[in-house]
Structure 1
Amino acid sequence: MSAEALQTALAKLRDAGVRMTPQRHAILSYLLKTMSHPTVDEIYKSLEEKFPNMSVATIYNNLRVFKDVGLVRELTYGDASSRYDANMNEHYHAVCTNCGAVKDFYYPSLAQVEKEAAKATGFEVSSHRLEVYGLCEDCRIKQ
């Protein structure tokens, strides 16, 4: 995480009228530093020592605020826990079908797919999401 990314995120929250608390700052910093697409439980466990009185509900509430302001996206995969991604640049995800790990990958924009989908369906397409599924390197080695 660059200091610039954190400052930009903090300014976005300030502009939205969101008050900065130590817990909110810690959650945001953690999300900007990690590449792991953590679950709420993973965020909680990583911050629990520094904030022993912080509840899981606090994390959920802050993630909702971050999502509403456009600082994180929620990644849902069926019945599994949601994962959170603070990388708002256009990118896609590879998901391990064994352990659930999620990794970013970059590929040329699929804007043309959105145009074709809009034309074929009459939808006003606002976004798209691409994921590929398989076994991550660690799971392949274990097999």
Structure 2
Amino acid sequence: MSERVSQSINKLKANNIRITPQRYGILEYLIEHDSHPTADEIYKALSDRFPSMSVATVYNNLRLFTEIGFVKEMRFGDASSRFDFATTEHYHAVCENCGKVEDIYYPGLEDVESVTADLTGFKITHHRLEIYGLCMDCQKLDQFSEVK
């Protein structure tokens, strides 16, 4: 078990949240796979390991993890949410073609909330930054389609 999984399990136990095998598996998958999966992707990845687990179980656990702050739900305009195990504040680059999401850690944006509050008078609750374009794989595909 990785240190991040172990720490997260200990936090769940400290909050009197029962650690079921399915809950453990979902949390472990989110931590170990940095792919910003959808609930369906998590379900498919774990269905062999937990054949009796339902999609509803995955959604319910993701909702719990989101409520306690372990996971961030990200909506990028398509029909399905993606989930990100949130340990540090970061941003996302999103491929407009295939939907791939990459984390971006950019120093200097930490104070964007306080600057915005100072400039507007808003009471800032949170923020997110997404940058859209084509990932390297889709750029390669796009290059091939232009050659005729």
Q: Which stretches of structure 1, 4 residues or more, deviate above 6 A after TM superposition?
A: none
Is the CA contact (8 Å cut-off) linking 1:75 and 1:83 kept in structure 2?
yes
Comparing 102-111 with 43-52, which one deviates more in the overlay? 102-111
The question of whether the paired residues in 1 share the 8 Å contact of 2:69 and 2:86 is answered with no
The answer to whether the Cα contact below 8 Å between 1:93 and 1:103 also exists between their aligned partners in 2 is yes
Instruction: Show structure 2 runs of 5+ residues with no match.
Output: 143-148
Corresponding residue number in structure 1 for 2:121: 122
What are the within-5 Å matches in structure 2 for residues 1-143 of structure 1?
3-143=2-142
Gaps of 5+ in 1: none
* Seq. identity, %: 54
Residues 25-73 of structure 1, C-alpha deviations (whole Å, 9 max, x = no match): 0000000000110001100110011111111110000001111111111
User: 1:90·1:109 contact (CA, 8 Å) conserved in 2?
Assistant: no
- Partners of 1:112 and 1:46 in 2: CA distance: 38
Q: How many residues align?
A: 142
For the residue of structure 2 that corresponds to 1:49, the secondary structure is: coil
Computing the radius of gyration over CA atoms, which structure comes out larger, 1 or 2?
Answer: 2
Compute the RMSD of aligned alpha carbons.
1.3
